[in-house]
């Protein structure tokens, strides 16, 4: 394993991520939105996360893995293999959360016509498996693209998305589903089963 091979693995993970997301994005457009909140700021948060897990690492890879100068870490194949494990995990969580959500999926804070509260599949174990996949994506980036700036960019981008969005998302669910969501949230962890 070399840094170039690890970078290719990172890029393939992103390609598969887009392949997973695309049909759900198309399908979601067919269902009317009945409640949308804070759309502009939510799109800004998504854009910030894309900079951290897309733009910064792409610039690093396209500039010969030398940006910013002096930020590269000594390459470790063992760390890179751990990054591949993180890719497999994030793609599985990403796929599973989309599949379990079905027509309920949305890129921003929206409730669609015939929206239901999903509490089965991976949602039985955590309330936000898609955020689990995003955190694992940032970890995979840090492990595969062994540059402290690029690794930190992914974690910061996802951190900003998560910490500024998850409470608003839960408020939307509580406003929509009331006691049913409150009961679900009291029994189901946010990100790590039985812990948090």
- Per the DSSP assignment, residues forming a β-bridge with 126 are 189
pLDDT per residue of the chain (196 residues) written in tens, 0 to 9: 999 999 999 999 999 999 999 988 887 777 777 777 777 788 888 899 999 999 999 999 998 877 777 899 999 999 999 999 999 999 999 999 999 998 888 877 888 878 889 999 999 999 999 999 999 999 999 999 999 999 999 999 999 999 999 999 999 999 999 999 999 999 999 999 878 7
Instruction: Give CA angle at 83 (130, 6), nearest 5°.
Output: 120
Please report whether residue 132 resides in a domain.
yes
Tell me, yes or no, whether 194 lies in a domain.
Answer: no
CA distance 17 to 104: 19
Instruction: Count up the domains in the chain and report the number.
Output: 1
b/e per residue 18-41 (b: at least 16 CB within 10 A): eebeeebeeebeebeeeeeeeeee
- Could you tell me the CATH number of the domain that includes residue 146? 1.20.120.1630
Residue 164 lies in a domain: yes
For residue 86, the enclosing domain spans 3-187
Residue 192 lies in a domain: no
72 part of a folded domain: yes
- In-domain check, residue 58: yes
> Is position 177 within any domain?
yes
Nearby residues of 109 by Cβ (< 8 Å), 6 or more positions away:
36, 37, 38, 39, 42, 165, 168, 169, 172
79 domain residue, yes or no:
yes
């Amino acid at each position: 394993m070399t840094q170039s091979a690890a970078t290719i693995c990172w890029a393939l993970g992103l390609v598969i991520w887009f392949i997973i997301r695309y049909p759900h994005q198309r399908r979601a457009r067919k269902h009317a939105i009945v409640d949308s909140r804070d759309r502009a700021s939510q799109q800004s948060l998504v854009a910030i996360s894309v900079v951290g897990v897309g733009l910064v690492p792409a610039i690093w890879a396209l500039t010969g893995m030398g940006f910013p100068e002096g930020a590269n870490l000594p390459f470790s194949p063992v760390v890179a293999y751990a990054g591949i494990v993180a890719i497999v995990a994030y793609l599985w969580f990403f796929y599973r959360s989309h599949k379990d959500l079905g027509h309920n999926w949305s890129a921003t804070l929206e409730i669609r016509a015939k929206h239901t509260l999903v509490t089965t599949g991976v949602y039985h174990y955590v309330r936000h498996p898609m955020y689990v996949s995003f955190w694992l994506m940032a970890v995979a980036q840090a492990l595969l693209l062994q540059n402290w700036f690029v690794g930190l960019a992914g974690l910061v981008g996802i951190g900003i998305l998560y910490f500024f969005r998850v409470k608003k998302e839960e408020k939307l669910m509580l406003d929509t589903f009331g006691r049913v969501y409150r009961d679900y949230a009291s029994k189901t962890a946010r990100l790590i089963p039985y812990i948090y």
